[in-house]
Structure 1
């Protein structure tokens, strides 16, 4: 029995040492300047990578570190890998091959990795085996709460992004008003449907409780009811003709 307790204490000690190693290795004051033979490069003081690391300092990574083994090669620091993936997402980068390239060429990524160069296999293994859906959801929750605490986000507004595409039209081109109204009705119905799906998704995943996100509603325009009536009449008139 004494031997079993001894083995258990050694195991806990090893896991604790491994966790502390990851924390100390990533959050200690790292080299913020990279010296080359003929010139010196440094990141701007307002680079978002500094904000990212500051926010991450108060996150609880126990769930992520629980997926790491203390047997064999430890591999890359999982906290560092999470920071790299998150920073890449902040810059709109999703492709793993592109992230690998930036870890070799981009100064901010090099600063995060402290000069290490994780390859694509390391990122795929990290995403598939360590950064599981539950772990990612928990870290995202902490991350959003921390950003809210810093006053960087409010979580009170929902924005639907759109893209403007230049069309082959000029001032002499015209479209029948009835056609515009007919398609406008379908567009409004589609927007309503998207909002309903979004609210249902919020309820199913309990994001309203976790992130304090209210239901979203379509914008209200004065006189919209009258516009809808006209649209429906035009739609009915067009249907009757066909």
Structure 2
């Protein structure tokens, strides 16, 4: 053995990483996920989730509700597989779900069995709740059109994208109903026919409502 190896001890340096951390410490204080949790804690959750059936599929129903609302608030829509991926890889959803990772089938069962109304209607309801409890200044709008700021910085929502998508989808549904109404009028020899407008026009919608009210 060479002299320079005599009385030498092999030493392997190591660095200890923490084995666990709290998602509470990672998510920023003004993040939208915190806002969603705050709103869900204040609304009447029994209006949106059916707790009469005890089959929770192994996951917390309120957490899953918060995850669905968060996905809708951020993107305006999220597929079941998107929800599954978000819970696995997005720290905001890990925070909402406290580390749980429901599969897309679990979300499908939750939406089908537990939600008391369509998610679009829940979205409208929560918007109304926010407007009623925190005055939202719509003049405070980011340049990229993604974020509204509430007074006192209490309610911060990345809500613009979701609102726009929801409004477009709802307008299509309104025009479909109007088309069905035109067919009804034609079938019953009523001399009324409305134009089917592609661009969102609320003034036109008010005119339609006024004519229908007079007819009724």
Q: TM-score, normalised by structure 1?
A: 0.45
2:19 to 22, 34, 37: 37
SS at match of 1:51: helix
Mapped partners of 2:44, 2:126: distance in 1: 10
Determine the structure 2 residue equivalent to 1:84: 67
Mapped partners of 2:112, 2:26: distance in 1: 33
- More contact order relative to length (CA 8 Å, sep ≥ 6): 2
1:150 to 117, 134, 141: 134
Mapped partners of 1:135, 1:91: distance in 2: 14
Q: Deviations over 1:90-147 (max 9, x none)?
A: 221512212111111111100100111111111111112222436863x434411221
1:86: Cα distance to partner?
0.8
Mapped partners of 2:82, 2:48: distance in 1: 24
- Identify which range, 35-44 or 98-107, moves more after superposition: 35-44
Contact 2:81 2:104 in 1 (8 A): yes
Matched length: 138
Whether 1:109 and 2:115 are equivalent positions in the alignment is no
Mapped partners of 1:108, 1:85: distance in 2: 12
Within 5 Å, give how 1:49-198 maps onto structure 2.
Answer: 49-70=33-54, 75-92=58-75, 93-133=77-117, 137=121, 139-148=122-131, 149-152=133-136, 194-195=200-201
1:152: Cα distance to partner?
2.9
Query: What's the C-alpha RMSD, in Å, of the aligned pairs?
Result: 4.0
Q: Deviations over 1:56-107 (max 9, x none)?
A: 111112134435413x665322211111011011221512212111111111
Contact 1:64 1:131 in 2 (8 A): yes
Mapped partners of 1:135, 1:98: distance in 2: 16
Mapped partners of 1:53, 1:141: distance in 2: 17
Unaligned stretches of 5+ residues in structure 1: 1-34, 162-188, 204-242
Mapped partners of 1:39, 1:140: distance in 2: 32
Mapped partners of 2:20, 2:42: distance in 1: 38
Determine the structure 1 residue equivalent to 2:30: 46
Within 5 Å, give how 1:198-217 maps onto structure 2.
Answer: 199=205
SS at match of 1:133: coil
Q: TM-score, normalised by structure 2?
A: 0.50
Distance 1:192 1:90, change over 3 A: closer
Mapped partners of 2:38, 2:63: distance in 1: 13
